[in-house]
């Protein structure tokens, strides 16, 4: 069983995800918390919240003596960060991981940096977050009841076992996938809904923004995730474009079927589509107040 009091955790990037890790780790009484950020101002915020025992803008310094090291920066910046810390003097048997939402790039470019240095790396993707980012919105319990997908760099080793224990300690449900399967899955269940929210926001409010003043909860709820950081989501979608494109083509096909049923006045076809969607949602969220 994982013993937090015996582990030093190093977090690289104290934003929403990294900051929430720190909140949980502090509550669980980890032995020591070490934090890296690019800016001293960010580290000052971490210190003011009491979420770190050591902070530095020098990544290798933060890695020293750590048992578990978590990259909580955008995927595009992980390789450079990995190169700075892969050769650091970590604790014996140290494990490296990340929280990136696209794993093909991580396992193809970031993991080899660590394995070449003789370190263990296993990708992590906790399916948790918010449309509001940053340390100010970080909180304990963010990962409670969330699925966390692990993508091991190799069969065997201690990394997967340690990470199963770590994420379950935070309340998550862990699963193992290869990077390609992961990217296909999240394209459907995470990235596609974000694009659908963006499309809905554009189609509903771009022609006449003033109409939104009369909207009830449907527009707000359907477009909530479109409030996510555009730069971050642009990066995610570009990095996972090979997997998101088939999902978007399916979205376009479903939209075309609805358009066709309306153009032809085929109420039966339209009702079938609406009923199928309702049943699919109910099968995933059977306890939802609005489930049939």
> What pTM value is reported for the model?
0.91
DSSP symbol at 157: S
Per-residue pLDDT tens for 11-24? Answer: 999 999 999 999 99
DSSP symbol at 143: T
More confident residue, 156 or 65: 65
| Class (C level, CATH) for 4-177 | alpha beta
Ramachandran angles phi, psi of 223, nearest 5°:
-105, 5
The CATH number for 182-284, chosen from 3.20.20.80, 1.10.260.40, 1.10.3660.10, 3.40.50.1100, is: 1.10.3660.10
Quickly state the pLDDT bin for 290 (edges 50, 70, 90): low
Note the pLDDT of residue 291: 52
Per-domain residue ranges for the chain? 4-177, 182-284
Q: Which residues are paired to 70 by β-bridges? A: 11, 97
Q: Give the residue-averaged pLDDT of 130-144.
A: 92
Nearest to 98 by CA among 117, 116, 113, 118: 113
Q: Give the residue-averaged pLDDT of 37-47.
A: 96
Residue 85 pLDDT > 70, yes or no? yes
Note the pLDDT of residue 289: 59
Note the pLDDT of residue 1: 72
Per-residue pLDDT tens for 147-183? Answer: 999 999 876 677 889 999 999 999 999 999 999 999 9
For CA atoms 58, 60, 66, 67, the dihedral sign is positive
Q: Give the residue-averaged pLDDT of 136-142.
A: 95
Residue 218 pLDDT > 70, yes or no? yes
Per-residue pLDDT tens for 269-286? Answer: 999 999 999 999 999 988
Nearest to 131 by CA among 237, 248, 232: 232
- CB of 194 within 8 A of CB of 233? yes
Residue 288 pLDDT > 70, yes or no? no
């Amino acid at each position: 069983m994982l013993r937090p009091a015996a582990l030093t955790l190093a977090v690289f990037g104290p934003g929403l995800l990294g900051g929430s890790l720190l909140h949980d780790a502090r509550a669980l009484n980890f032995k020591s918390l070490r934090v890296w950020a690019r800016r001293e101002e960010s580290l000052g915020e971490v210190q003011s919240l009491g979420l770190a025992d050591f902070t530095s803008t020098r990544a290798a310094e933060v890695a020293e003596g750590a048992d578990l090291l978590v990259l909580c920066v955008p995927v595009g910046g992980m390789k450079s960060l990995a190169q700075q810390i892969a050769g650091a003097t970590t604790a014996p048997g140290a494990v490296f991981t990340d929280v990136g939402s696209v794993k093909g790039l991580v396992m193809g470019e970031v993991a080899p940096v660590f394995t070449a240095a003789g370190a263990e790396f296993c990708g992590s993707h906790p399916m948790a977050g918010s449309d509001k980012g940053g340390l100010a919105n970080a909180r304990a319990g963010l990962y409670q009841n969330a699925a966390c997908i692990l993508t091991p760099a190799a069969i065997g080793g201690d990394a997967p076992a340690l990470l199963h224990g770590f994420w379950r300690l935070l309340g998550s449900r862990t699963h193992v996938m290869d990077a390609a399967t992961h990217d296909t899955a999240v394209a459907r269940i995470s990235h596609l809904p974000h694009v659908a929210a963006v499309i809905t926001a554009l189609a509903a409010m771009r022609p006449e923004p003033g109409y939104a003043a009369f909207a009830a909860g449907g527009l707000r709820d359907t477009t909530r995730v479109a409030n996510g950081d555009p730069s971050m989501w642009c990066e995610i979608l570009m990095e996972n474009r090979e997997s998101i494109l088939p999902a978007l083509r399916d979205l376009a096909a479903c939209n075309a079927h609805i358009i066709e049923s309306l153009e032809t006045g085929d109420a039966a076809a339209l009702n079938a589509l609406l009923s199928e969607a309702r049943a699919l949602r109910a099968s995933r969220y059977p306890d939802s107040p609005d489930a049939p």
